[in-house]
Chains A and B, each alone.
Chain A
Amino acid sequence: MIIWLTIIAAGILTYAIRLSFILLYGQIRMPSQIERALRFVPPAVLTAIFIPELILNDGNPFLSFGNARLLAGMLAIVVAWRTKNVIYTIVIGMLALWILQFLFS
């Protein structure tokens, strides 16, 4: 029972967060500084999510040529930069990870 109540409450909370500014826009005036800041939301947030996935191993820095995720991720960054193609980036990154993991094992 408690698990269901938690899920429903978490759903309402997440929905309220998503709805917040969409519903309030126009009723509260957004400072221009904040409007300028919004452009940086996607690069800042998404990079903050994926960089630790490449650099950390169980929460500890793992900066070495033995880090398959870091190498595969760096290759994926180059592919994304050159091709701007989502499928190439994910497929090449994943293949690189598997090959490196196989080589390092």
Chain B
Amino acid sequence: MHANKSYQVLHPARNEFFSGIKAELPLMIGVIPFGMIYGILAISVGVPANAAQAMSVIIFAGSSQFVSAQLFGLSVPAIINLFTVGVINLRHALYSASIAPYLQKLPTRWKWVLAYLLTDEAYAVSIIHYQQEGDDRIKHWFFLGSGLTLWMTWQLSTAAGIFLGSSVPASWSLDFTLALTFIALVVPAIKDRASLGAALSAGLVAVALFNLPLKLGLLAASLIGILVGLLLEGKS
């Protein structure tokens, strides 16, 4: 590693950008298989290759693309497909609210770009970075670096999955990398009783309500988890 102090002083923004890329890269070993599985799935249910890739660019939200592709395969009415995507992606409103205070001084064009890049993985590393010490005026470069890394990886891996089609066997269980990625993000971030309570209660409710339609159980579980976190925090 070439550590050059004057470089860091002269180019703090560029430094932030590369730190964002570096923080995001380890997550890619979970994202690449997930993107490939999405591509494989979309082709196998009959979504045209160009439309499957367009979903990665236009929607750019993995789990909703999974479900939406399956609904295309089932020829479900478009309005139901759309509603389902909205419900699954509603958690991004929480991310948006959570990261908004740190972005408020940015020019509007930055807000438009960063909002497009606001995914689970980019949010997770960026919010941790925002909560740490450092120069808040340049941390959006970190967010940009992590977001673009995820974007590139997602596009390339879904393209690879579309190309491979059905030649990867399901017995590889590559879908499990999604759960492992989230474990790697959540567990180190649990630092007190309140956040542990939020995670555990959300997990339990998600299991109990899993069979509700449209992933509504996920939404209910998230809200209950947040509520439990607040209650535990209030007590201590």
Q: Does B168 contact A (CB under 8 A)?
A: no
List A contacts of B108 (CB < 8 A): 23
Q: How far is the CA of A9 from the CA of B202 in the complex (A)?
A: 30
List A contacts of B225 (CB < 8 A): 40, 43-45, 47-48
Q: Does A34 contact B (CB under 8 A)?
A: yes
Q: Does B111 contact A (CB under 8 A)?
A: yes
Binary contact readout A31-72 vs B (1 if CB under 8 angstroms, 0 otherwise): 001111111111111111111111110010100000001001
Q: How far is the CA of A15 from the CA of B188 in the complex (A)?
A: 29
Interface size on B, residues (CB 8 A): 91
* B93 close to A14 (CB less than 8 A): no
For A10, the closest partner residue in chain B by CB is B85
List A contacts of B58 (CB < 8 A): 7-8, 10-11
Q: How far is the CB of A61 from chain B (nearest CB, A)?
A: 7
**Stretch from B3-11, B13-21, B155-163, B226-234 that touches the partner:** B226-234
Interface hub of A3, A10, A47, A84 (most chain B Cβ within 10 A): A47
Q: How far is the CB of B38 from chain A (nearest CB, A)?
A: 14
Interface residues of B (CB under 8 A from A): 26-27, 29-30, 47-48, 51, 54-55, 58-61, 63-64, 68, 72, 78, 81-82, 85-86, 89-101, 103-104, 108, 111-112, 114-116, 118, 120, 123-124, 127, 171, 173, 176-190, 194-196, 198-207, 210-211, 218, 221-227, 229-230, 233
* B198 close to A13 (CB less than 8 A): no
Q: How far is the CB of B111 from chain A (nearest CB, A)?
A: 5
Contact partner of A10 (CB less than 8 A), chosen from B82, B103, B177, B188, is B82
* A10 close to B59 (CB less than 8 A): yes
Q: How far is the CA of A4 from the CA of B98 in the complex (A)?
A: 32
List B contacts of A59 (CB < 8 A): 210-211
Contact partner of A72 (CB less than 8 A), chosen from B60, B111, B176, B196, is B176
Interface size on A, residues (CB 8 A): 69
* A51 close to B203 (CB less than 8 A): yes
List A contacts of B27 (CB < 8 A): 86
Interface residues of A (CB under 8 A from B): 2-11, 13-15, 17-26, 30, 33-56, 59, 61, 69, 72-73, 76-77, 80-81, 84-87, 89-91, 93-94, 97-98, 101
Q: How far is the CA of A69 from the CA of B177 in the complex (A)?
A: 11
Q: How far is the CB of B112 from chain A (nearest CB, A)?
A: 7
List B contacts of A48 (CB < 8 A): 202-203, 205-206, 218, 221-222, 225
Q: Knowing A14-B85, A18-B95 touch, does A90 contact B210 (C-beta < 8 A)? A: no
* B183 close to A93 (CB less than 8 A): yes
* B182 close to A87 (CB less than 8 A): no
* B186 close to A47 (CB less than 8 A): yes
List A contacts of B171 (CB < 8 A): 101
Q: How far is the CB of B101 from chain A (nearest CB, A)?
A: 6
List A contacts of B26 (CB < 8 A): 85-87
